[in-house]
Amino acid sequence: MNITRENIDDLNAIVNVNIEKKDYSNKVDKILSDYRKTANIPGFRKGHVPMGMVKRQYGKAVLVDEVNKLLQDALTNYLVEEKLDVLGNPLPVEQDNFDWDTENYEFQFELGLAPQFDVDLKTKKAITHYQIEADEETINKQIQNIQKQYGKLIAKDTVEKGDMISATFTNEEHNINETASFETSRLKEKKGLKSFLGAKVGDTLELKAQDIFEDTHDLTTFLKVEHDAAHNLKDKLHIEIKEVNAQEPADLDQELFDKLFGKDVVKSVTELKTKLKEDAEQQFQQQSDQQLLNDVTEAIIEKNSFDLPAEFLQKWLRVTGEKELTEEEAKEEFEKSEKAIRYQLIEAKLINENNLQVTFDEVKDFAKDRVKAQMAQFGQMDPSDEDIENIAARVLSNQEETKRISEQLTSQKLLDFYKENAKLKAKKLNYEDFVKEVYK
């Protein structure tokens, strides 16, 4: 067997694989000999079928199968030995007059080669690294929500601002008959709220559907009508008030603190604010980190430009999917995936050159830590090492889960690397301003 490579340019090559009879004949003969021992052909005892008949019946199929196996193994080994970094998979070059009746065969494969490049992280413009703070207003809103969530509902007769109302909405023409509960804060200020304020339990109001709620989508939620129907509902609804409840906020006392965080973890309103701030900023940090990863990715793709074997990749996309694509479809698919391909190459280079590979021990330790945390949530604060090991082993027996953990750890290593090496500028802001700036 002889394998040679012809480099067309820096990104494309042709590999020639020449297979001679001596490369496959012994294997083919052995398989046919085994077939002869077990072949069940009418008129012949098992094991006594003439070899010529076996070759005529099975020889071509066995030959093709063994040559293809030999070809694939040889090509794979060649790419490894030559340390060729290829994109996609080798594509066989079609041969119109290929003849399996000869003894020696020549195959050709197109290769798309990964480009050679250096990664420069120093972008001209510094990338914003958001540091989201939980300000006093955010913490106070969270405390109000907690007090409301754990507070009491006190029944009353007359609707006042801030109350919770339970009412039945009906309209015979549109087959509406639904009971829903909602706060007065959802009502449209000048029409819906004005009509409800002062109304009593048992009263029936008549309001145009579009005049009730500030957000028309609430009609979809409370009346259980389709989205378009809610926007087009112009008729009046009969609204019978069933219940009115005032929301009495929970006291900020030790009973509430223990219910939220466990016994004596928080002992005062000051400690509550500190705890809420820490928890909120930990969650904000995850969003900030994800945004930084997204922004650095975009920046380094733009900063580090290099050519790809575009024609080869389009051909590869065209012929290797579940359904063969047209040339135009393959071109569109390549254009959609080009940025991702570039970043995969950049990411792989950064990982290899900076020893950012994730080891199995790291994956295992991550799984064990997660198991401990989950067990702690169910009150198992001191599980045995053996239990942790066994549960983590079951988790990692799922290949998809192992892959997900590995990708998560890789992202974290890359993020830490970017924080140390990319050109960043810190920007402090509260969460509301972060959302406005990032998501606009």
pLDDT 10s digits, 226-269? 999 999 999 999 999 999 999 899 999 999 999 998 889 999 99
Containing structural domain, residue 81 = 2-113
Q: What is the pLDDT of residue 315?
A: 94
pLDDT digit string (tens) for 164-180?
999 999 999 999 999 99
The CATH number that applies at residue 20 is 3.30.70.1050
d(CA 176, CA 240): 13
Total domains, the chain? 3
Q: What is the pLDDT of residue 164?
A: 94
Task: Give yes or no: residues 297 and 231 share one domain.
Answer: no
Q: What is the pLDDT of residue 44?
A: 77
Task: Give yes or no: residues 194 and 282 share one domain.
Answer: no
Q: Report if residue 140 sits inside a domain.
A: no
Q: Report if residue 341 sits inside a domain.
A: no
Residue 95: pLDDT band (50, 70, 90) is confident
| CB 396, CB 402: distance < 8 Å | yes
Residue 157: pLDDT band (50, 70, 90) is very high
Task: Give yes or no: residues 39 and 171 share one domain.
Answer: no
Task: Give yes or no: residues 236 and 277 share one domain.
Answer: no
**Residue with more model confidence, 43 or 36:** 36
Task: Give yes or no: residues 271 and 401 share one domain.
Answer: yes
Give the other-Cβ count within 10 Å of 394's Cβ.
12
Task: Give the DSSP per-residue string, 96-157.
Answer: TT--TTSS-EEEEEEEEEPPP-------SSPEEEEEEE--HHHHHHHHHHHHHHTSEEEEES
d(CA 355, CA 342): 20
Q: What is the pLDDT of residue 190?
A: 84
Task: Give yes or no: residues 283 and 432 share one domain.
Answer: yes
pTM for the model stands at 0.72
Pick from 223, 248, 273: which residue ends a domain? 248
pLDDT surpassing 80 at residue 48:
no
Q: Report if residue 128 sits inside a domain.
A: no
- Give the rounded percent of residues in the chain with a pLDDT score beyond 90: 80
Task: Give yes or no: residues 65 and 202 share one domain.
Answer: no
pLDDT digit string (tens) for 380-404?
778 888 999 999 999 999 999 999 9
Mean pLDDT of 98-115: 93
The CATH number that applies at residue 204 is 3.10.50.30
